[in-house]
């Protein structure tokens, strides 16, 4: 693909992303279609600039910056949307408010995309407000605790989350285990609040937590051959990761996620996180305590062990998400990352930071328990709501 083709493709994705964002944020506006279309047309040249910035990140060590760029751009569009009234637009021509030459085909394309986005807009949080309100408050409380303990970087916050996860601090009974039965696939974060889960649940909640902390993170799918990867032995003593899975369930899971099957080769059999922090981008696997460096041709190389993951950014496991935003982010990340080959951390750095964070939490056990006791009623409320809506999940 030539540079011109790449830029055209990225421009189209950025436009669609901005539309989805505006529609989801301003869905109650009665003039949503006209206003959204106009704002995008006015900022047509800005969209091209943003697309070029994202394209240039193909040579950068911090490819996750694409999501910061997108957020800042959509914030600008939303500001303009809010400061412009429908009545002000009556009788105004595009040429009066923009110097860009807007083609008729571009106008029709944007209007069509806006119409499609409005038609398909569904916000799951509105269906179950008690669940997602309480989840948000829980993550905010754990964010405050992290900052009180001076845990600030994306890597340290990922270690912090992993410690809380496996020690049951998101669970009603303060116990957690890897478990494959009674899945809630539509809303992956919820199982963690039941004291159980698998990789998809862990990576989805880690993404939500890091985003709450103002960090760049997303969930990605990958293909892993468990026989060809392992972590260094010294990490085995840092954290107990309990598993509650029967022999029959294990056999069934192995068959479903058999590495050689065509569908698994296409979409992957494991879920981890792509994380950004300042000028660094890395992968984090809270299921297996792996930290991985991005590697060329959509691979990730384990830092604190040996082996590689095949990254499937264009087929992430968040296909459960009714919003297109996550999929658009996936596609952009896939385009940018495919040329990247960088070393972000060393094994020594990973071990030192993980040990430091875990020890900090152990040394402040009473404080951590105090926060847990504060959020536990909200965890119980989430479980109450899960039971109430179980047939839908």
The pLDDT confidence band at residue 149, using thresholds 50, 70 and 90, is: very high
The pLDDT confidence band at residue 214, using thresholds 50, 70 and 90, is: confident
pLDDT at 317: 42
Write out pLDDT tens, residues 160-199: 999 999 999 999 999 999 887 777 767 889 999 999 999 9
- 91: tokens are 């009788």
Q: Is the pLDDT of residue 138 over 90?
A: yes
**138-152, 341-355, 364-378: which has the minimum mean pLDDT?**
341-355
For range 363-372, the mean pLDDT: 97
pLDDT at 136: 94
Domain boundaries, the chain: 3-121, 125-388
Q: Is the pLDDT of residue 85 over 80?
A: no
- 346: tokens are 């060393």
pLDDT at 123: 53
- 15: tokens are 């436009």
Q: Is the pLDDT of residue 54 over 70?
A: yes
Q: Reduce the DSSP state of residue 29 to 3 states and report it.
A: coil
Write down the pTM of the prediction: 0.72
Mean pLDDT of the chain: 82
Longest dimension (CA), the chain: 71
Q: Reduce the DSSP state of residue 169 to 3 states and report it.
A: coil
Where is pLDDT greater, at 171 or 38?
171
């Amino acid at each position: 693909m030539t540079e011109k083709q790449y830029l055209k493709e990225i421009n189209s994705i950025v436009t669609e992303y901005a539309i989805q964002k505006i529609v989801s944020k301003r869905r109650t506006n009665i003039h949503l279609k006209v206003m959204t279309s106009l704002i995008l047309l006015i900022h047509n040249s800005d969209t091209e600039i943003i697309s070029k910035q994202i394209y240039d990140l193909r040579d950068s060590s911090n490819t996750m910056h694409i999501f910061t760029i997108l957020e800042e751009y959509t914030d600008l569009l939303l500001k303009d949307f809010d400061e412009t009234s429908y009545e002000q637009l009556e009788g105004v021509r595009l040429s009066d408010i923009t110097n860009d030459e807007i083609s008729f085909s571009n106008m029709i394309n944007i209007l069509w995309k806006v119409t499609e986005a409005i038609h398909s807009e569904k916000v799951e949080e509105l269906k179950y407000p008690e669940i997602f309100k309480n989840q948000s408050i829980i993550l905010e409380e754990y964010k405050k605790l992290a900052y009180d303990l001076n845990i600030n970087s994306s890597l340290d916050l990922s270690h912090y989350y992993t410690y809380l996860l496996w020690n049951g601090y998101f669970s009603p009974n303060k116990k957690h285990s890897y478990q494959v039965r009674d899945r809630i696939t539509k809303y992956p974060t919820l199982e963690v609040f039941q004291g159980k889960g698998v990789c998809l649940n862990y990576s989805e909640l880690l993404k939500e937590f890091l985003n709450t902390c103002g960090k760049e993170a997303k969930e990605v799918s990958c293909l892993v051959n468990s026989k060809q990867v392992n972590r260094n032995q010294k990490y085995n003593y840092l954290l107990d990761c309990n598993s509650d899975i029967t022999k029959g369930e294990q056999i069934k899971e192995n068959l479903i996620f058999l590495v050689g099957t065509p569908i698994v080769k296409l979409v992957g059999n494991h879920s981890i996180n792509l994380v950004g922090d300042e000028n660094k981008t890395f992968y984090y696997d809270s299921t297996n305590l792996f930290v991985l460096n991005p590697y060329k041709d959509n691979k990730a190389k384990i830092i604190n062990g040996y082996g590689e993951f095949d990254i499937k950014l264009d087929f992430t496991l968040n296909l459960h998400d009714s919003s297109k935003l996550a999929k658009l982010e996936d596609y952009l990340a896939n385009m940018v990352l495919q040329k990247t080959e960088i070393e972000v951390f060393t094994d020594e750095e990973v071990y030192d930071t993980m040990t430091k964070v875990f020890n900090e939490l152990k040394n402040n056990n009473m404080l951590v328990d105090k926060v847990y006791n504060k959020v536990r009623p909200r965890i119980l409320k989430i479980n109450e709501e899960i039971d109430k809506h179980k047939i839908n999940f």
